[in-house]
Amino acid sequence: MDPLDIMSNMEKVIPYYQAIFSADEQRVIGYEILGRIELNQNEMKSLGSFFQDDNIPDDFRVEVDDWIVNKALDEFLQLNDSELLIFINRDANLLMLDHGESFLEILLEKQNHGLKLNQVVIEINEHNFRGDVDQLYHLLMYYKTYGIKIAIDNIGKASSNLDRIGLLSPDILKIDLQPLRMTSPLQSYYDVLYSISLLARKIGATLLYEDIEVNFQLQYAWKNGGRYYQGYFLEKPKRQFIDRDDCKERLRNEFQHYISSEKKKLEKLHHFTENFHERIHQLIAKLGKQYENYDELLAELAVHLDDCSFRIYICDEDGFQQSVNIYKKDEWEVQPEYYLKNWSWRPYFLANIMKMRFDKKGFLSDVYSDIEKGDLIRTFSYPLNQEHYLFIDLSYEFLYEQESLL
């Protein structure tokens, strides 16, 4: 659509609202403002491409954006609900044209009519920002002094600099789940989402999963730390605000299904761990005293664990390897170069050693990507004695065959 047609028909530019739901209350906690233009009777067109087109003059985009925000905030105020949040998209590059002054003036003017600024959430796309990130940081910190909240948008859909996101200290991280609709998303996508969830926890940000279009995306969001949810699966953008409890019963039913499914999976994981611990315990009791050194023991263990493992080794409590690697390619082979290598730098290694020392039993790690193979694996760790610990890497093929291990 020609930008001039939009500028000359501003009376047809109107806000739409997409509801955002919470996990804890299963009700609407806020709305994102979206721009639409009425082409003819009952036909609406999104203005997303208009705002994202850098070829359109900056003052055109700012004027239309301000028009929508003014109208939306007036309608939002009519709800008279101080618990609701209003999410406002703002291009960080346009925001910095006047260092955010004109936008703040709009908010302060609405504050005089009853808007509480702690209800306002500004959404920005940090990966599109071309200016000085330090200046943007200072502006956002200034906004925060008014109680305004900051959300970083479209994480997971485009490349994002996690260091820069951390610097901006957002209150909310919006993770785009559209890539989950792909036939087979790359493992790196899941790894990035996991890194973002860790970052959110470190900086005290809330995770909001957006673009939820099917049930399994909602389940993924629920399982991976999402407090807020948004997408067509829950509610499409509408001209009017919806009832806050519109999806309450539906979300409760979905969550109850997820909870039951997850509990069953955890029970199966517990039973597998107990059974595998007993298997290793019996093997060590049978084989441990027959061999003079650990390398011989590992060679024999490899024979008995050929169905499930591809790497076996032994470390002391400080992480220094006390054996070679026994590693399976087509056949089992010895890798002597790993003797005395130290693994204490690995995340959770020492914590896991202490867990085995105090519990005096083996346990199964979370699923993670193996550095050398790149496959998803788990490691079963087992205390041989007070000083040495056995590590058994379980192959992807084995995990795939076992229900609930992947």
pLDDT, position 191:
78
What size, in residues, is the chain? 406
pLDDT, position 199:
87
pLDDT, position 158:
53
3-state secondary structure the chain: CCHHHHHCCHHHEEEEEEEEEECCCCCEEEEEEEEEEEEECCEEEECHHHHHCCCCCHHHHHHHHHHHHHHHHHHHHCCCCCCCEEEEECCHHHHHHHCCHHHHHHHHHHHCCCCCHHHEEEEECHHHCCCCHHHHHHHHHHHHCCCCEEEEEEECCECCCHHHHHHHCCCEEEEECHHHHCCCCCHHHHHHHHHHHHHHHHHCCEEEEECCCCHHHHHHHHHCCCCEECCCCCCCCECCCCCCCCCHHHHHHHHHHHHHHHHHHHHHHHHHHHHHHHHHHHHHHHHHHHCCCHHHHHHHHHHHCCCCEEEEEEEECCCEECCCEEEECCCEEEEHHHCCCECCCCCCHHHHHHHHHHHCCCEECCCEECCCCCCEEEEEEEECCCCEEEEEEECHHHHHHCCCCC
Neighbours of 202 (CB within 10 A): 9
Successive 10-residue mean pLDDT values, the chain, 406 residues: 90 97 97 94 89 93 97 98 97 95 97 97 89 93 97 72 82 90 72 84 93 95 95 97 97 97 95 96 86 88 96 97 95 96 92 93 91 90 94 96 87
pLDDT, position 127:
79
Quote the CA–CA distance of 254 and 268 in Å, as a whole number: 21
C-alpha distances in angstroms, 291 versus 236, 284, 294, 299? 67, 11, 7, 10
pLDDT, position 99:
95
Rounded to a whole number of angstroms, the distance between the first and last alpha carbons of the chain is 47
pLDDT, position 342:
97
Give the CA dihedral 33, 34, 39, 44, nearest 10 degrees. Answer: -100
pLDDT, position 163:
76
**CATH 3.20.20.450: which residues of the chain?**
3-235
pLDDT, position 98:
95
Q: Find all residues with CB under 8 Å of 220, minimum gap 6, and list them.
A: 177, 180, 209
- Taking domain 3-235, whether its CATH number is 3.20.20.450 is answered by yes
Query: In angstroms, how far is CA 151 from the centroid of its own chain?
Result: 14
pLDDT, position 160:
58
pTM equals: 0.88
pLDDT, position 157:
60
Give the CA dihedral 235, 240, 243, 249, nearest 10 degrees. Answer: -20
pLDDT, position 156:
62
What CATH topology corresponds to 261-401? Beta-Lactamase (3.30.450)
**CATH 3.30.450.20: which residues of the chain?**
261-401
Q: Which two tokens stand for residue 9?
A: 């028909």
Beta strands 309-316 and 388-394, pairing class: antiparallel
Quote the CA–CA distance of 213 and 170 in Å, as a whole number: 25
